[in-house]
């Protein structure tokens, strides 16, 4: 049985990835901040996928101690980690000259440091088994600057750099690293925005691309996946 770990797995892309992997026979561990939603998902998924082990854990991934606690819960429940999806992240628009003080530090904690710390916690086991696949949820904001990108765009550039460095380090252990760079994807953050949901991608589209990259032979690695709405970025 394969095992996957996903941060920010209660909604949007993270939830879509979890449900895709569960449907393919994976046991899944997710974390999120909403304890009630985690409990609801645990019950729903356990009923739909009774053969798979499901771990849900309440954690704020911007806090390193809570990341370590989540990792410990994963290691106590799963014998190995086949897929790690560093998906947790948050968006705050703003200009560097005028955004609130502390915005960069906050977004770094959620969008970059969470992936850094969780990966470091789980890597020894992946290196020991000499296999696995790490997916980091970057963004088209990792590739080029745009108005009101501010600190958010900086953190996504940094996450792409983390992915590239990690890939180089882990080649010798047969561990694959893929940076996923989706454009506008419909999640709860788009609700009430006035943007037609038909104009942007579905979270399930990103999950399908992740599955395709994982499903290749062990001799192939997809370094970076860039996805955009068919009509282009907003």
Catalytic machinery residues: 152
Task: Please report how many Cα atoms fall inside a 13 Å half-sphere around the Cα of residue 209, on the Cβ side.
Answer: 22
Instruction: Give dist(CA 179, CA 167) in Å, integer.
Output: 10
CA 224 to chain CA centroid, nearest Å: 14
Q: What burial letters (b/e) apply to 183-195, b meaning 16+ CB within 10 Å?
A: bbbbbeebeeeee
Instruction: Give dist(CA 42, CA 9) in Å, integer.
Output: 11
Let me know how long the chain is: 234
Please say whether the dihedral angle defined by the alpha carbons of residues 169, 71, 158 and 178, taken in this order, is positive or negative.
positive
């Amino acid at each position: 049985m394969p095992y996957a770990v996903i941060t920010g797995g209660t909604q949007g892309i993270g939830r879509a990835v979890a449900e895709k992997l569960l449907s393919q026979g994976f046991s899944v561990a997710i974390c999120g901040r909403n304890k009630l939603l985690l409990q609801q998902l645990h019950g729903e998924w356990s009923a739909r996928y009774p053969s798979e082990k499901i771990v849900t854990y309440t954690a704020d991934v911007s806090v390193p101690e809570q990341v370590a606690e989540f990792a410990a819960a994963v290691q106590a429940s799963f014998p190995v980690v086949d897929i790690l999806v560093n998906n947790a992240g948050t968006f705050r628009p703003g200009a560097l000259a005028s955004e609130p003080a502390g915005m960069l530090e906050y977004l770094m904690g959620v969008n970059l440091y969470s992936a850094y710390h969780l990966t470091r916690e789980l890597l020894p086991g992946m290196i020991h088994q000499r296999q696995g696949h790490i997916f980091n949820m970057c963004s088209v904001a990792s590739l080029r600057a745009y108005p009101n990108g501010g600190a958010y765009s900086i953190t996504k550039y940094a996450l792409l750099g983390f992915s590239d460095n990690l890939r180089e380090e882990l080649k010798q252990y047969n561990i694959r690293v893929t940076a996923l760079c989706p454009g506008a994807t419909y999640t709860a953050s788009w609700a009430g925005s006035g943007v037609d949901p038909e104009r942007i991608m579905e979270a399930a589209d990103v999950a399908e691309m992740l599955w395709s990259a994982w499903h290749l032979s062990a001799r192939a690695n997809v370094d970076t996946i860039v996805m955009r709405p068919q009509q282009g970025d907003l």
